[in-house]
Amino acid sequence: MSEVSAEDQITLLEVLDRVLDKGVVLSGDITLSVADVDLVFVGLRVLLASVESANRMRTEAPATLREI
């Protein structure tokens, strides 16, 4: 389970969903805390585009950003 808080995970996911037009995959298990009451365990693997796109963005030079 990630040590990053659920709120941070969701915030990051939401930011990436917006600032990137496409091409990001987040995976991992997180615990969602909704209204500080419910703890919901979710195996989070949110596919927003292709794995290849995400990997390219993580590893390649800035020229790859043309493909975003």
Partner 1 sequence: MIWLYAILDYPPAPSLAALRGFDDRPLEALSCGSLIAAFTRHDASHEPRFSTENALKYESIVEQLMQPGIALLPARFGTRLADESDLRAALNAHRDEFVTALQRVRGCVEMGIRIICTTPSQQPVAPESTGSEYMAAKLAQQRQQETAKQRAEELIHLLTEKHRWPRSTRRARTLENSMFSSAYLVPTAQIELFRSAVREAANSAGPDVRILCTGPWPPYHFTPDLSREAQRSVDESV
42 binds partner 1 (CB under 8 A): yes
Euclidean distance between CA atoms 8 and 2, whole angstroms = 11
DSSP state of 35: T
Euclidean distance between CA atoms 20 and 13, whole angstroms = 10
49 binds partner 1 (CB under 8 A): no
Which of 11, 28, 51, 55 contacts partner 1 by CB under 8 A?
11
- Chain contacts with partner 1 (rule: CB under 8 A): 10-12, 14-21, 32, 34, 38, 40, 42-48, 57-58, 61-62, 64-66, 68
